[in-house]
Amino acid sequence: MGTKVSVKWDKQMYRDVEVDMSAPLELFKTQLWTLTGVSPDRQTLMVKGKKLRDDTGWGSVTVKPNTMVLMMGTTGELISEPAEKIVFAEDLDQDDPDALNQLVVKRGLQNFGNLCYVNSTVQCLNQIDELQPVLDQLKSSSSENNHPVQLAKALNSLLTSLDPSIPAPASGKPLALFNVLKTINPVFAEQNQMGMNKQQDAEECWSLILSQLASALQNRGGGENPVDQMFGISMKETSTNQESTDEVITVTTKHRLLRCHIGNKTSHLFEGLKESLEEDVERNSEVLGRDATFKQISKIEKLPGYLAVQMVRFRWKAAESVKAKILKSISFPFTLDVLDLCSEDLQAKLKVRRNEEIKKHDEAVARAQSQVDADEARTPEPEKPKDADETMDKASSSAADASANDGEATAESPVKIITSETGVYELVGVLTHQGRIAESGHYVSWCKDKDGSWWQFDDEKVYQRTEEDIRKLTGGGDWHMAYMLLYKARNSYD
């Protein structure tokens, strides 16, 4: 049971608001968003004059029943179309390649009939910074032509076509990749009565691509498979017999995504993740000599550089013979902290790194403030003109440094892949589904650029979006709703 507190916002008072002290602060902010309409990024929370921080959560304050929480913040504007309409390359003069290359900011993918699930998957995978360098190495070093290698090379070629700095058509063509997919798994080759490709599940496409890439990259260069470095999750599963608690079975399992179960009381991603890691399962009992119910609790022992999460929105309806969709609204954070989902050993390692980063951040802030104070106290001196030779030397030195650091990975050296050192992740991609059943509807991807801007990839159409637009993808109606989430490890507090 949670603790019930009172929340004061402006002139409003909300009493008996339940707080789960073990959950991230983001969950409580989401509850307040529902009550007040103030989005989490606009909320400032204080308890007894002390500001609550997302990284420390409730651990920094003492909360008792009926504790007063003061909330400050204003509601945001309703979602609207972008102020500036994106200019599509296909609308430009095709005889002017300079105009084409300058104005194409992002590239979409053509849909040759119900291939939106492929296109949205590829656009999300394009968020993985290390993926294409890894595939480039494979392309240059492998002479094999089996299905996994074919898929890897087709994906690499498609990702290359999405690079706006390379002269190419305005939209990429996924046909080569699709042809390999349907050769590997005939399900993707199924057609409807009109002879068109059938709609398929984007998660199944995602998982098939990763498994084939892992096969193509195994035993190359030694060390852990690059796909498992990017996405691999190790779990310790402990199952206890509910009828004979002395029977405990412990195994280690490996996965490439987490699943968020959606139950009657689930309203936030973190709740669904916890539910999926604690469940009752039926399995054979050696003690009882028959099947029995085991309580299975899973803890993460190894985290990946990129964390993929599937919202389990589709369930089989036998009466209609369809995979029906759960439309319930499930909020998700832009910053996901999975510390509480990890084993005690992993938690201890993550906390050490977190403390180091917090200390480093606080020291940097203190140095910056000292510099500001010193600058304000100092009488400014007139700036001296720079010597031309000195300027040239610095420019040459910078260019040399850039050249030395560019392309860190070579055919001989493995690509350096980000690891999770703190258990904190930043949202970089959302794959959504619009529709009521899995066999129909439409898939779209929403991806975050390095400059923090968000882009919607609707096949060949590309739109710039805002964080508010992304917050509207929680579900609850017939609008686009999150089906898969892609998070990238954040190891710094800068």
> Any idea which residues carry the catalytic annotation?
116, 442
Instruction: Return d(Cα 131, Cα 16) in angstroms, integer.
Output: 48
Task: Write the DSSP assignment of 236-301 as a string of letters.
Answer: EEEEEESS-TT-EEEEEEEES-EEE---TT--BHHHHHHHHHEEEEEEEETTTTEEEEEEEEEEEE
Distance spanning both ends of the chain, measured CA to CA: 35
Q: Which residues contact 75 (CB under 8 A, 6 or more apart)?
A: 36, 37, 38, 39, 42
Helix, strand, coil percentages for the chain (3-state, nearest 5): 35, 25, 40
Nearest C-alpha neighbor of 273 from the set 221, 224, 342, 215: 342
In the DSSP assignment, the letter for residue 342 is B
CA atoms within 13 A on the CB side of 103: 16
In the DSSP assignment, the letter for residue 89 is G
Could you tell me if 30 and 471 are in contact, meaning their C-beta atoms sit under 8 angstroms apart?
A: no
Q: How far is CA 31 from CA 17, 314, 438, in A?
A: 8, 25, 29
CA 462 from centre of chain: 20
Instruction: List beta partners, residue 325.
Output: 314
Could you tell me if 281 and 269 are in contact, meaning their C-beta atoms sit under 8 angstroms apart?
A: no
432-434-436-440 Cα dihedral, nearest 10 degrees = -100
116-119-124-127 Cα dihedral, nearest 10 degrees = -160
Nearest C-alpha neighbor of 490 from the set 345, 339, 365: 339
Instruction: Return d(Cα 24, Cα 18) in angstroms, integer.
Output: 14
Q: How far is CA 21 from CA 53, 58, 152, in A?
A: 14, 6, 45
E-strand ranges in 86-193 read: 108-109, 171-172
Q: Which residues contact 248 (CB under 8 A, 6 or more apart)?
A: 238, 239, 240, 241
Q: How far is CA 143 from CA 220, 226, 241, 411, in A?
A: 13, 19, 51, 14
